[in-house]
Amino acid sequence: MNIILDLLLLLITIIYSYLESLVKFFIPRKRKSVAGEIVLITGAGHGIGRLTAYEFAKQKSRLVLWDINKRGVEETAAECRKLGVTAQAFVVDCSNREEIYRCVDQIKKEVGDVSIVVNNAGTIYPADLLSTKDDEITKTFEVNILGHFWITKALLPPMMKRNHGHIVTVASVCGHEVIPYLIPYCSSKFAAVGFHRALTAELKALGKTGIKTSCLCPVFVNTGFTKNPSTRIWPVLETDEVVRSLIDGILTNKKMIFVPSGISFYLTLLK
């Protein structure tokens, strides 16, 4: 009996997914304007963070860019200014709570209240569990999830007051399904997905429907963290493809952004 119910639920889910995709194909979601919004992007010195900054610059947002790499984040800011927007670069270690709080206070005084945050900074140490050093495990969680807590706590009060804002969590498909030799990374991304879902539910419970949330979950992305990336399970994506999906998801207030989008169907079947 349970098997029949499971199959029936699966069939309903598949039909619903196809109908939803069909409707969205013919009636695309309305895209919001982010012109003039103050956007904070972490990990903006390279990869997804850098290209995301460029896309927000094209949308005429005001940019606050963070990265631990001074040269990288300043290069990103300089390119954004060429697109005709204000962009300020800050060297911030997203694993350091005190540094995060101090920089947020500085931004509030010098720039204003951030209304969109893209928690993108991340780190990865590919290795089997026994070969992974203790400090690498700690660093993975400090950057990939704890930093999201400190940044969001620091930026959320003005958003709550205005009931306006957008909090973006950059996670991974590894926050839904695991692959070997990345136990700390997968665990931290599961936590990031949980953070996004719990925050979304809490904002709704508090009646703060003007504060939107999005979670980016791509498969493996060629960002330069690892040499010659490859996987048997999923395709390796280029950064620009992922960022296009991310920006589209933010501008349409999409809660969960899978790249490629078909991954959501795979995960449904897996469940």
Locate 236 and state its tokens.
């390796």
C-alpha triplet 28, 30, 34: angle, nearest 5°: 135
CB 27 within 8 A of CB 15: no
Please classify residue 180 by burial: count the beta carbons closer than 10 Å to its beta carbon, then call 0-12 exposed, 13-18 middle and 19+ buried. Answer: exposed
CB 225 within 8 A of CB 140: no
Helix (H) or strand (E) holding 26: helix 2-26
Distance, in Å, from the CA atom of 98 to the CA atom of 175, rounded to the nearest integer, reads 27
CB 254 within 8 A of CB 24: no
Distance, in Å, from the CA atom of 201 to the CA atom of 213, rounded to the nearest integer, reads 10
Distance, in Å, from the CA atom of 22 to the CA atom of 53, rounded to the nearest integer, reads 31
The residues annotated as belonging to the active site are 185
Cα within 13 Å of Cα(94), Cβ side: 29
